A and B are shown apart, each in its own frame.
Chain A
Amino acid sequence: MAKVKVVEQITKANDQIALQNRQLLDATHTLAVNLMASPGAGKTSLVMRTIEALRGRLRVGAIEGDTASQVDADKVATTGVPVVQINTGGGCHLDANMVRPALHELPLAEIDLLLIENVGNLICPAGLALGERINVVISSIPEGDDKPYKYPGIFTVVDAVVINKTDLLPYLQFDLLTFRRLIEGLNSRARFFQISCKTGEGIAEWAQWLADKFEAAVGDGVNHT
């Protein structure tokens, strides 16, 4: 019997396809953002708000991931932006191989910012790259302030943490300061946004951050208005 050293990441096959997706997106100067959250945190609402806030500044497109149904894509389509729905058929996350055909269905050359709404889940999406350059987790006030303790993995790998439904703060027990301090401790590079998709609080600041990321990553200062 002989021991063979391997040391190979179990996500390697996914990572290779994700890299191809990213190269495709880079070629069309499209910045992709992977939006992750538990079900009901407000992913689709944030996609809608972001499209609205960036209208006339960036050309936005969307991929909507869900286990089943076309509901989210139909909702986003009312804004007039190109959108593709991916149904995972019960699968708990999007992976790079599911995103690849969706990219080919979208007019990428006419999209600056591609918002990819992952399946509602705080566990599985965190470990699987899709081709995005920016990872975001959305948490919401009703979910409670203990989410980073229960799902630390996702909070450590993201570029931004968005806390949604701040309009509910007066009615619920949520220690925003401790929540924020824990995330800063776990992930010092993550930007923190407090928003309410209902009232619009914080949306402008969030949208500006995305616009700045686009300019820095692929915009080359080009104005697409």
Chain B
Amino acid sequence: MSGYGADAPILIADELRHSFGRVPALQGVSFDLHPGEVLGVVGESGSGKTTLVRALSGELVPQGGRVLYRDREGELLDLHALPEGRRRRLYRTDLGTVRQNPRDGLRMTVSAGANVGERLMALGQRHYGSIRAQAEDWLARVEVDPDRLDDVPAQLSGGMQQRLQIARNLVSGPRLVFMDEPTAGLDVSVQARLLDLLRGLVADLGLAVVLVTHDLGVARLLAHRLMVMQHGEVVETGLTDQVLDDPQHAYAQLLVSSILPV
């Protein structure tokens, strides 16, 4: 994978902590992410990986710790401490979030074109023809027939909905995207196509990505680096193929040995 930048971190998770009642979901999770780097977060249900992506994507305010984002000017911003307006704006321009269920990431009552165009309008674009042209262009890039521009998401297949969600996020030219199980719930053949599309887009655009997945095959294909989580803690981290081929921690070994070979 290309575009693997060497600059200062674009994202710093600093000692993130969160509990649901007495159940700890994040117990001091820290990591750096560099421009163009894809970090895979793996672990089984309940490991805290979804809470992590919710804390990063601004959907949940962690009880402890900070999420620091370095903006285009090089300034480090504490995302959860920013004024609401500024934070929302960043999440609509520089940052993106692709959710497992496209229904959670799309507006289901407006057309595919409007879904893609929304972020452009948030950026201040007002020219209808230009927004429509960009939406068409992005539908083509994610391999959705631009003829479907006026369809609402319910008229699209699951795989197309997921690709539409990706276009909706990428149209604003974000630098950092959070993905929560982007391929789960899709047929295997549809998954392969989406994975290949993601792989190409991430490399071409030089995106930094935090990719949460329970699928180690997806992680191997897309991630430069892996973080293995268990009970809200990071138990192992390293180069993706090293963690998968030579896992050190007992839980990482269990996880890797539990996949059926294909």
Query: Is B a genuine binding partner of A?
Result: no
